[in-house]
Amino acid sequence: MLGPDLTNVGIKVSREWIYKWLKEPRTIVDKDGNVTVNGYETEDEPRMPKFRLTETELRGLSAYLSVQKARPIVPYKIDARVVSAWSKNPELISQGELRFRQMFCSTCHSLAVTRAGETKLIGGDIGPELTKVGSKVNPEWLISWLRDPQGYLAHTKMPRYGWSDEDLYKVTQYIDTKLTDSDLLTGVPQLGQPSQDEVQLGHRLFLEKGCASCHIIEGLNPQKDFGPDLSALGGKNASELEFGSAKIPHNLVAYIQAKLQDPGSVNPAARMPQYNWNPADLDAITTALLSMKGAPPTSALQNLVVPREEAGFHPTGSFAEVYERYKCYTCHKFNGYGGSLAPDLTYEGSRAQREWIVDFLKNPQTLRPTLILRMPQFNMSDKDATTLADYMTLVLQHPDANPTSVDARQFTPAMVTLGKQLYEVKYQCQSCHTIGGTGGYVGPNLNNAGGWLTPAWVEAWLKNPQALVSDTIEPRRNFTDAEIKALTAYLMTLRQSIKPQKSASVTASLTTALGAVR
Amino acid sequence: MKLRTPIIALFLIFFCVASGCRKHAEPAKADLLLKAYDTEADWSDAQHIISLSYQQAQGKRVFYRHCVWCHADATPAGPSNRSNLTPVPPLLNDGATLNAESDEFMRNIITLGGSALGKSAMMPPYGRMLTAEEIRSVIAFTRAIAQPSYQPPGRPGSQYSSK
């Protein structure tokens, strides 16, 4: 389904918010006529189209949706000691913001940020943008959502973080206080308790307007083939089309464009909602529709199209459980399956040392400090981190880089010295890699190469980087075998312990405690 | 006699149309962009759009994957690595520096790396990464975006020509 599941939407948002959304789905046109979404300009329109709803219909639908509370939430009580320690603390909100940043929520969610008079979205687009989410969702829902996203929406990509009550309190307080807009619901009438008639009307409209074609509500069966079949639209003659009273040329292109831009213009009774296309999208979708001329003629040509092999990665056991909980595959790829935001982990067991993986998972410090989108801080338990690291080390291996095949004990100090020279003088690797604070940042930081990479991987990598990661931009060089050994020996001496980041909350509570003593 | 009148009429129509066309002809600028495989905004003047040939467009693709990190001040990832390097590598559109270098030199330094030609070893060799065709296309792209613009060396003209 294209839109979110609405089975439980009544516990998440208020009836007033639903009313506003249905009337004007996020899109707000400001006084200058610029299209703004939630207050900032954007080229991406929300996917929710605009339905031309009357006041009665708005009241009906908002009433119906606001009573969708199939699985009521049990409010989670945050430890009273945490609340009493923090609720009066003036730093509560700024600490919440700090944790929000440290956990790297922004890898998936964006916020509108105004700098030098220019407002733009900063952050990822895997999850929804959150600039005003505090004014949208019910605070109790927010807490239960953060603790267990799949409990509300089984198929959500949101990972299940390990929350301490302290973090949960600070972050939700931050969201409810800062990520808000008091003007969000301006112009929405006081709707009050939904009446039985309104709910019934909403139920009927939900099916009639086609809402059920994009949104699931458990127990509600959408009408099949809600919209008309378009597979032969491109072959239609102008005489077969209804132009109504629209003042447009009577041809197929004009018809399609008019219908897409304003469905009511060619047929006032159209059920199709109003979309906001940008000109490029409008042209693209027109072209696609024009190309649909019925079932394609069967010919030998079809046999030329080779179906793409479906990538699959089906882990089992305790690894699968943790992998699923943190939704690793949303960003990382495993054996061709998964997202492409973060590094492909298919050969992670050949690349990284087990201890490093454990440390990294518990405290993901990025190797590339210039990145804006980074691995979130999941507050992973030792057990989870070990499970993941063990599995990766044993299973996710490259046939040409077996970690046990190269023994680091063979490296001599002379090789290390030579390697350092090769690195710094002959090949000047520092143009792209950083060691000890100097160097470039095109490639990963090598401060901890010896604690991170396996010697087998480094050797195979120096021989031919593209054989291991086909799309890497590391130039393939022509090192001799002796040079490869020397460079590997040098890199394996580079160590820098990843110190567990002193979490700000610890420091802050220490400061508070000290203040109290004084 | 029967044929001549229509022929004359045809000629007349042809001339009217031809001269009419010439009078109202649009400047060729829009046409250039229409035929272009890709475009690149002039790095020092964003209003100036440079149209790229097929080869130059291929070069642009290679450039933005491999070279942009050190030979431009803005990169797809944001900050540039250029300021981390000594000597500072030339910007790819730096015509004042690069126009003087022959295609041959450019091909060699990309293929063999800086140290092979007595330049900085920070420039890695790409001979095992890029094909000869890709390297030619990057050079073509360099020439296309150069400011001041690049004038290909003319063929040595015939010294003995009467003209």
A3-17, A198-212, A332-346, A361-375: the lowest-pLDDT one: A361-375
Q: Identify the bridge partners of residue A118 per DSSP, sorted by sequence position.
A: A115
Instruction: Count Cβ atoms below 10 Å from residue A5 Cβ, excluding itself.
Output: 17
The C-alpha atoms of residue A55 and residue A440 are separated, in whole angstroms, by 60
Closest residue by Cα to residue A10 from A65, A73, A76: A65
Q: pLDDT at position A498, please?
A: 56
Tell me how close the Cα of A472 comes to any Cα of chain B, in angstroms. 10
Quickly state the pLDDT bin for A398 (edges 50, 70, 90): very high
Q: Which helix or strand (DSSP H or E) is residue A144 part of?
A: helix A139-147
Q: What is the mean pLDDT of residues A437-457?
A: 90
Q: pLDDT at position A94, please?
A: 93
Q: pLDDT at position A424, please?
A: 94
CB spacing of B84 vs A477 below 8 angstroms: no
Nearest CA in chain A to B85: A431
Instruction: Count Cβ atoms below 10 Å from residue B87 Cβ, excluding itself.
Output: 9
A238/B contact by beta carbon, under 8 A: no
A246-250, A308-312, A406-410, B122-126: the lowest-pLDDT one: A308-312
CA distances from A134 to A62, A74, A166, A171, B123 (A): 20, 20, 19, 11, 50
The C-alpha atoms of residue A288 and residue A276 are separated, in whole angstroms, by 17
A27-31, A61-65, A81-85, B40-44: the lowest-pLDDT one: A27-31
Q: What is the mean pLDDT of residues B62-81?
A: 89
pLDDT at A503 over 50: no
Omega before B148 within 30 of 0, i.e. cis: yes
pLDDT at B1 over 50: no
Q: What is the mean pLDDT of residues A29-42?
A: 52
A441/B contact by beta carbon, under 8 A: yes
CA A361, A367, A372, A376: dihedral to nearest 10 degrees? 0
Quickly state the pLDDT bin for B10 (edges 50, 70, 90): low
- Nearest by CB to residue A476, choosing from B77, B85, B128, is B128
Tell me how close the Cα of B128 comes to any Cα of chain A, in angstroms. 6
Tell me how close the Cα of B78 comes to any Cα of chain A, in angstroms. 8
Q: pLDDT at position A135, please?
A: 87
Quickly state the pLDDT bin for A509 (edges 50, 70, 90): very low
Strands (E), A190-299: none
B77/A contact by beta carbon, under 8 A: yes
Predicted ipTM beyond 0.95: no
Kindly tell me the number of DSSP H helices and DSSP E strands found in chain A: 22, 9
CB spacing of B70 vs A440 below 8 angstroms: yes
Q: pLDDT at position A36, please?
A: 56
Question: Cβ distance A195 to A63 under 8 Å?
Answer: yes
> How far does CA B77 lie from the centroid of its chain?
24
pLDDT at A60 over 90: yes
Percent of chain B at pLDDT > 70 equals: 73
User: Which one has a higher pLDDT value, A49 or B43?
Assistant: B43
Q: pLDDT at position A24, please?
A: 80
Give me the phi and psi of A341, to 5 degrees please: -70, -40
Q: What is the mean pLDDT of residues B1-12?
A: 53
A381/B contact by beta carbon, under 8 A: no
pLDDT at B13 over 60: no
Nearest CA in chain B to A434: B84
A125-134, A283-292, A323-332: the lowest-pLDDT one: A125-134
Q: What is the pLDDT of residues A186-200, one digit of tens each?
A: 778 888 889 999 999
Nearest CA in chain B to A438: B84
B119/A contact by beta carbon, under 8 A: no
Q: What is the mean pLDDT of residues A312-334?
A: 91
The C-alpha atoms of residue B72 and residue A86 are separated, in whole angstroms, by 48
Instruction: Count Cβ atoms below 10 Å from residue B142 Cβ, excluding itself.
Output: 26
Interfacial A residues in 358-377 facing B (CB < 8 Å): 370-372
CB spacing of A475 vs B69 below 8 angstroms: no
Which residue, among B88, B122, B134, would best test binding to A if mutated, counting the most A CBs under 10 Å from its CB?
A: B122
The C-alpha atoms of residue A433 and residue A437 are separated, in whole angstroms, by 10
- Nearest by CB to residue A477, choosing from B70, B79, B128, is B128
Q: pLDDT at position A27, please?
A: 52
Q: pLDDT at position A117, please?
A: 67
Q: What is the pLDDT of residues A81-118, one digit of tens each?
A: 999 999 889 999 999 999 999 888 988 888 887 777 66
Q: pLDDT at position A501, please?
A: 45
In sequence order, the 6+-apart residues with CB closer than 8 A to the CB of A146 are A161, A163, A168, A171, A172
Q: What is the mean pLDDT of residues A439-449?
A: 89
Collapsed DSSP state (helix, strand, coil) of residue B59: helix
Q: What is the mean pLDDT of residues A241-256?
A: 86
pLDDT at B22 over 80: no
Tokens of A276: 């906001």
Highest mean pLDDT range out of A123-127, A222-226, A324-328? A324-328
Quickly state the pLDDT bin for B161 (edges 50, 70, 90): low
pTM over 0.80: no
A30-39, A294-303, A493-502: the lowest-pLDDT one: A30-39
Highest mean pLDDT range out of A301-310, B2-11, B69-78, B114-123? B114-123
A105-119, A307-321, B19-33, B121-135: the lowest-pLDDT one: B19-33
Conformational region of residue A379, where left means phi above 0, alpha means psi within -120 to 50, and beta covers everything else: left
Alpha helical stretches, state H, A165-278: 165-178, 196-208, 252-261, 263-266
- For chains A and B, count residue pairs whose Cβ atoms are closer than 8 Å: 53
User: Which one has a higher pLDDT value, A240 or A302?
Assistant: A240
pLDDT at A45 over 70: no
CB spacing of B124 vs A477 below 8 angstroms: yes
pLDDT at A473 over 80: yes
CB spacing of B122 vs A442 below 8 angstroms: no
Instruction: Count Cβ atoms below 10 Å from residue B64 Cβ, excluding itself.
Output: 15
- Nearest by CB to residue A475, choosing from B78, B115, B126, is B126
Question: Cβ distance A234 to A252 under 8 Å?
Answer: yes
pLDDT at A59 over 80: yes
Question: Cβ distance B41 to B50 under 8 Å?
Answer: yes
Q: Which residues does chain B have within 8 Å of residue A440's beta carbon, measured at their own beta carbons? A: 69-70, 81, 84-85
A116-130, A396-410, A419-433: the lowest-pLDDT one: A116-130
For all residues of chain A together, what is the average pLDDT? 85
pLDDT at B92 over 90: yes
Quickly state the pLDDT bin for B100 (edges 50, 70, 90): very high
